[in-house]
Structure 1
């Protein structure tokens, strides 16, 4: 009888550990897929802005020329960020992370997203300040165009970062429930 109880206890523990491992792997894969989708959206937005801005800048005049110019510059940086992040996400096996690595990685992703949300608000405020400063500057057209572009990019990034942070926060309870 003792042998059967020990065997039953062993099977119960191994099934629990296996279920926990499967849940952790599923959590990590879902988190990775959410971030990949976010980086594909960012990269697509960047490419779209670069292509459209390049064509529109050739025909634009006054502040619209500077608007498209800033969009191109801004989205070159966005494209680099999206490419590096996608490379990191695609070359990492998310399912192979253990619980402590998953907790650290999840926390790091959330910190980066919350920092980015703060920066996005700062971008919007900077763009608004540039537009206001354009009223009293000899570089009126340039400051107005750059300000409009920075506000647009800031709003897009703010929406993207809030959505990504909400999606990560939405499933955080699954990860934290795995902590013994």
Structure 2
């Protein structure tokens, strides 16, 4: 066996205890920061939802035609988003943060994948909005045209906002993982009696 390979294997097997403690000690702070990032995002989503319920709730009774249906749909979106943001904030207060490498990595990937999946759904919302607006042109009654047009405009607005929101949240979490977690999972550690190239998954 080549000398360097034996040295690498020996280094991993004799990884100093002091260096091993560095990673677990950093995990609670990292997980707390990830949770804080999520909470800030949910507050933004909640504020957007409250604005939709308040403004469109009032406008739905004061407008006619496509605008009326536009505001009706906005209220529906606002209620759903408010429920999601509220439940996420409440859940975060009662969630036990992971303390080991495997659980932390799993939680990080779950969060990133969730926002990435939502971004794809947001594109579908926008596409549906365009479809409804186009579909309105072929409806036989004015009421049907107004409803589809209003709903389509709402989907374009809500889908556009959520696309930006989920995209920014994914980017923020990915940057957080890249700077705070991934270097902890794979790096070179040096101790008083050994040098180790460590990959922790």
State TM-score, norm by structure 2.
0.78
Q: CA offset at residue 171 of structure 1?
A: 2.0
User: Between Structure 1 and Structure 2, how many residues are aligned?
Assistant: 167
2:27 corresponds to 1:24: yes
Q: What is aligned with 1:151? A: 156
Query: Which among 74, 95, 109 is matched to residue 71 of structure 1?
Result: 74
Query: Which among 39, 44, 59 is matched to residue 41 of structure 1?
Result: 44
State TM-score, norm by structure 1.
0.87
Q: What is aligned with 1:6? A: none
Q: Which has the higher helix share?
A: 1
Per-residue CA deviation, residues 117-164 of structure 1 (Å, 9 max, x unaligned), is: 000000000001101111111311000000000110001100110110
Q: CA offset at residue 17 of structure 1?
A: 3.5
Separation in 2, partners of 1:97, 1:146: 45
Runs (4+) off by over 2 Å: 16-19, 176-180
Q: What is aligned with 1:136? A: 138
RMSD: 1.4
Q: What is aligned with 1:172? A: 177
Gaps (5+ residues) in structure 2? Answer: 1-15, 186-199
Q: Which has the higher strand share?
A: 2
Higher Cα radius of gyration: 2
